[in-house]
Amino acid sequence: MAPKDEKGKKYLACSCGYNTKKAETQSSVIKEVLKERKGDTVAIVNETDAALPITEERCPKCKHNRAYWWTKQTRASDEPETRFLKCEKCKTTWRERN
């Protein structure tokens, strides 16, 4: 589930369509509490491809032989995950077809 913000109201939403704004319980309310303390520093980390594993896959666009890969549950939970690949050279992204 991922946090969403709609018209100033925060809730959690799943890729299956379920979200906590439909739930009738108070336990699904998202609250943000920020505490500022002196001397603390916050590291801002950008998502980079360097954190992803690399495999030997041929890019359909530039024919480079290495690509980053990750999986994501895009269908029902009883179906296998979808594997995505991103070319190391030209950054083209595609799905693995089975």
Residue 6 has pLDDT above 90, yes or no: no
- What is the reported pLDDT for 25? 47
- Reported CATH class of domain 49-95: mainly beta
Angle at 73 between CA 2 and CA 60, to 5 degrees: 115
Unique residue bearing structure tokens 């969403």? 4
Residue 37's pLDDT band, with cuts at 50, 70 and 90, is: low
pTM as predicted: 0.49
Tokens of 65: 């032989």
Q: Which residues are catalytic?
A: 78-79
Residue 32 has pLDDT above 80, yes or no: no
Q: pLDDT above 90 covers what percent of the chain? A: 23
Q: Which of 39-43, 47-51, 53-57, 59-63 has the lowest mean pLDDT?
A: 39-43
Task: Sketch the domain layout of the chain as residue ranges.
Answer: 1-36, 49-95
Q: What is the DSSP letter of 63?
A: -
Cα(29)–Cα(84) distance, integer angstroms: 32
